[in-house]
Structure 1
Amino acid sequence: MKRYIYTIAIAVLLSLGACNKQLDIKPTASIDQTLAIRTNDDVQSTLVGAYNRMGDADLYGGGAFFEPDLLATQLIINWNGTFQDLTQMVNQRMVNSNIFVRDNWLAAYVVINQTNNVLANLKLATNDDEKSRWEGEAKFLRGLVYFDLARLYGKAWNDGDPGTNLGVPIVLTPTTTADESAKVARATVKQTYEQAIKDLTDAKTLLPDDNSFYANKYAAQAILARLYLQQGDYENARDEANDVISSNVYRLNDKYEDEFPSKSKTHFDNTVEDIFAIQVTQQLGTNAMNTYYASSGNAGRGDIRVKDDFLAEFEPGDVRGEFYTITSVNRTMKFNNQYGNIHVIRLAELYLIRAEANNRLGTIIGATPKDDVNTLRVRAHLTPVGAVTLDDILMERRHELAFEGGFFLHDAKRLQATTDDSNPFKKYTAGTLPYNSPRLVFPIPLREILANPKLQQNEGYGQ
């Protein structure tokens, strides 16, 4: 008998498993919520479990970043891997049974269900400060996940009408039973973005300025800046980015390479530039960026190799262009540490968001676009420029953030890049495909379609 269990129901069992490590859990179609989360400590454990699941190799442990880049870097990397489902991404020929797509979806909805369990049980918090902080953290995690689900499984915000294009199912309460109520239809792209914005906006008002390596208010603002930029809402993107930069809570590392500590057997804490990062240690987590980008000498598979043409884009003396192992095989050195934290968002990106938004709007909020770009250029050992164009800013972004966050795909989409010679952003295309190709959207996993007849498949993926 085929055993298809839809994601949200699986998420119930896995999220509650974060609090109970027993291996002899009996199969069940429903769970008594009062037996699962009963105390303040249970709520906290569930929240910690959500952070832990965020670091899954299929989600922010790497998959949410390198998989979209595999879809978009045919002109930038050579793929030497043997995983056929990743080869499908590189070839831009995914099928709806792709296991990496399946597991990304599953991990995302496990996190969503864990955060929903936290939010539904905040009454158990022992004090108001704890309650506000936990609510903010849960909403930050949920908002971040919904934003990236919308970008991966739905059309781009600027591809047609986001009010009718389909995003992903929005679930805001704990799923405790595997019945018809757990089968949820896809919301629109607009609704999915709106939910992410609401969660992240709530998070920035609830979270403290300082929260160790957990999410704080600036992490929420930084992701909002990224989200608004993706939408083309440059005013809000600029303002959120400026708030984070102006807080002076973070600063750029003096040296570019200091953002990517490379001792392969050592865990390092977040750097002064990290706004939010996934923690990886010898005891906890997997750095999938290391797995696919690093050589075997640095504990990786070395599957992703950088083409000479991409390295040739960098100006002479640019330390970012020199941050590659340049031999017969070119590899980025950003992920050489097996136990290195995975940067979800860092301050350099905020400078680039502010610069681009100010440039597009013709405003000077916080700094001029030239000054923001020069801040990064000087650190990269390059001569400051006297003026910048939009293309200058985008090229700085391409070189500063290469391979870190799926930017090759997401930027191609927001810039509406095509291979047409008249397109001003031709150099930022996702391989040879136009930004609105249905082959640049993840399929809804076949397992989910079979289990939930309310889900509609994306264009080009059959059932």
Structure 2
Amino acid sequence: MKYSKYVSLFFLLLSLQSCSDFLEQEPGTQTSIDELLQNKTGVLQALTGLYSELEANIRPERFAVYADLQGGNIKFAPTASGSLKGQISTPSNIEQLYSFEDVALTSNFQTFYDSSYDLINQANLILEYTPALTDATDAEKNQIKAEALAIRAYAHFLLSLVYSQDYKYTADASHLGIVYSTESIKAGIQYPARKTAAETYSLIITDLQTAIANYSENSLLKGAAYSFFNQKNTKALLARVYLQKGDWENAYETANDVITNSGVSLTSKENLVAEWEKPDLPISEILLEFSIRKDNEGNVSSSMSQVFGYSTDINFQKYTASNDLVNLYESTDLRKQLFLVKPLFTLVEGVQTNVNFNFTKKYQDNAGYVAFRLSEMYLIRAEAALETNRSDLAMADINTIRARANATLLTETTGLKENIFLERRKELCFEGFLFFDIARNHKDVSRNDGCLANICSLTYPSLKYVLPIPTYNTNLNPNLQQNESY
């Protein structure tokens, strides 16, 4: 408990202070870090805290809705009560980015940017102190290292999706990537510059490959195994990175490895809807879902339902499915049953009426953040097969997902690339993919149903496919180049 208290305090201080503040602390603070991370107990407490920080960075509203919101899967529910009851408006904390008008000085994603580099710094501290542990075996130290590396790579990858144009934006990926931090901020002022996109992806891949080579059988942390990085879900992340990069051979082989050797099976057709409707446990095909925080009595203080949830007709969240998405499903598609269709009191051009809104069943009750599940691997393998001239294998994988959903099977490979894109949109909705898939495929953004933004469409390529780096950070680091147009 003593270590837990001190480590939690230490990481809280890190998360609340800027890089410059941390650098200006008295030397005694560094001694306390040495004391906290001098043994296995302290390092494991720190690793537990790192997972908590990661979950707290990607589960809340802004990042959780970003890709689906920008891509057109989401529209807003009306205000539930009060003087504004029935009115539909854009939530203020995503209003700028939703209109593709985010401003560097007051960026909606300031917290995400800062928190991402805070947790990367924490991962680096763990990586630097773990090799010197005298009370841990080599296997234990390698396991700690593997998980910290996976988290570091994941955080950098998410940053690259938000702040760097897609990998093939330039022919040689020489456009700006992100700052890739591999050392903790402990002494001296550091002013790192952004890597190119090619360099960024190379560093992400190296971290993931190193992690995969160091895993033991099990995490040393207490909790559900699906809540921690392990070899199989780190390979799933690597497959996603290869897909985003357009490295088709490696994307195919890595996704195939996960499908074949992970020991996880696709949730059955008969159980698909029921699995998503479970109030606590994740869907059975989960590869990684971060645990949500519970109090001493087992109550959940926050979950994905705080973003997408529906409880009653006067108690629901703002984010619902657009008809742009819902209308993609065939009437027989089981995934169409994964929407709660609710008539809500709405003002339409000043007239009071009831309008149906579709809340996703994926994130009701105590739902956690779905990071990786097996169906994504089938979709990655399908796309990679198509891009390597194996269209028959690609169609077979798409039909596996469609058959599970009771959707009409494909019988010819004509238009398969677009079918794969649409299948990803239907299967992975609200799991953080659509906008990044649009950019990766060099498609245009087209948002119709319920769009309240000043800009509802965006033509690729556009400088607005990425967000501005917050002004505070560019002011702090003179080598940190801002994205164009900001």
Contact kept? 2:150, 2:211, Cα under 8 Å: yes
Matched, 1:415 2:441: yes
Give the equivalent residue in structure 2 for 1:68: 67
Q: Which residue of 2 aligns with 1:303?
A: 318
- Out of 338, 346, 351, the residue aligned to residue 373 of structure 2 is 346
Query: Quick check: 1:28 aligned with 2:28?
Result: no
Distance 1:69 1:162 in 2: 28
Contact 2:292 2:368 in 1 (8 A): yes
Alignment deviations for residues 389-439 of structure 1 (CA, whole Å, 9 cap, x no partner):
22222221111011211x11111111011379xxxxxxxxx9511233111
Matched, 1:253 2:279: no
Match of 1:397 in 2: 424
Residues 278-287 or 157-166, more deviating: 278-287
1:35-58 Cα shifts (integer Å, max 9, x gaps)? 3422111111111111110111x3
Unaligned runs of 5+ in 1: 1-12, 421-429
Q: 1:180 maps to what in 2?
A: 189
Q: Secondary structure at 1:243's aligned position in 2?
A: helix
What is residue 141 of structure 1 aligned with on the other side?
151
Give the distance between the partners of 2:276 and 2:313, measured in 1 at CA.
13
Is contact 1:85–1:94 with CA below 8 Å preserved after alignment? no
Indicate conservation of the 8 Å contact 2:178/2:195, yes or no: yes
Of the candidates 453, 457, 467, which is equivalent to residue 442 of structure 1?
467
Q: What residue in structure 2 maps to residue 357 of structure 1?
A: 384
- Residue 244 of structure 2 corresponds to 230
**1:320 partner SS:** helix
Counterpart amino acid of residue 372 in structure 2: I
Give the 3-state SS of the residue equivalent to 2:480 in structure 1: coil
Could you state the TM-score of these two structures normalised by the residue count of structure 1? 0.83
CA contact (8 A) 1:184 1:455 kept: yes
Q: Hey, which of these two has a bigger chunk of strand by percent?
A: 2
Name the SS for the 1:121 alignment partner.
Answer: helix
Query: Residue 458 of structure 2 is aligned with which of 423, 433, 448?
Result: 433
The one-character-per-residue Cα deviations of 1:249-286 (angstroms, maximum 9, x if unpaired) are: 111112222442353xxx32x44311111111433986
| Alignment match of 2:121 (pick from 113, 118, 124) | 113
Contact 1:112 1:145 in 2 (8 A): yes
Question: Which deviates the most, 283-292 or 202-211?
Answer: 283-292
Q: State whether residues 124 and 183 of structure 2, in contact with CA within 8 Å, keep that contact through their aligned partners in structure 1.
A: yes
Asked whether the equivalents of residues 150 and 168 of structure 1 are also in contact (C-alpha less than 8 Å), the reply is yes
Aligned residues of 2:59 and 2:304 also touching (Cα < 8 A): no
Cα distance change on mapping 1:40 and 1:20 into 2, 3 Å: farther
Amino acid at match of 1:165: H
Question: Which one of 150, 156, 163 corresponds to residue 160 of structure 2?
Answer: 150
Partner of 2:258 in structure 1? 244
Moved more, 277-286 or 319-328: 277-286
User: In the aligned structure 2, how far is the partner of 1:442 from the partner of 1:387?
Assistant: 39
* Equivalent position of 1:4 in the other structure: none
Structure with higher Rg: it is 2
2:336 corresponds in structure 1 to: 321
> SS state of the match for residue 371, structure 2?
strand
Equivalent of residue 77 in structure 1, options 68, 71, 75: 75
Segments of structure 2 that go 5 or more residues without pairing to the other structure are 1-6, 16-21, 78-87, 220-224, 343-354, 447-454
- Misfit runs of 4+, over 6 Å: none
Segment of structure 1 superposing worse, 141-150 or 391-400: 391-400
CA distance in 1, matches of 2:44, 2:148: 10
Instruction: Give the aligned residue type for 1:279.
Output: S
Q: Give the AA of the match of 2:67.
A: P
Q: Which residue of 1 aligns with 2:39?
A: 39
Matched-pair identity in %: 26
Deviates more, 1:236-245 or 1:38-47: 38-47
CA contact (8 A) 1:15 1:111 kept: no
Q: 1:203 aligns with which of 193, 211, 218?
A: 211
Contact preservation (8 Å) 2:303, 2:366:
no
Contact 1:149 1:168 in 2 (8 A): yes
Count of paired positions: 426
Query: The residue matched to 1:322 in structure 2 has which SS?
Result: helix
- Distance in structure 1 (CA, Å) of the matches to 2:313 and 2:235: 34
* 1:310 to partner: Cα distance: 2.6
Per the TM alignment, residue 151 of structure 1 is displaced from its structure 2 partner at its CA by: 1.2
1:114-152 Cα offsets, whole Å, 9 max, x none, are 110111011215101111111110111111111111111
Structure 1 pair 305–272 and aligned structure 2 pair: CA distance change class (3 A)? closer
In structure 2, what residue type is equivalent to 1:347? Answer: L
Query: What corresponds to 2:288 in structure 1?
Result: 276
Kept after mapping to 2: 8 A contact 1:72/1:431: no
Cα deviation, residue 209, structure 1: 5.1
Instruction: Mark the CA change 1:458 to 1:402 in structure 2 (over 3 Å): closer, same or farther.
Output: same
Q: Is the 8 Å Cα contact of residues 162 and 188 (structure 1) preserved in structure 2? A: no
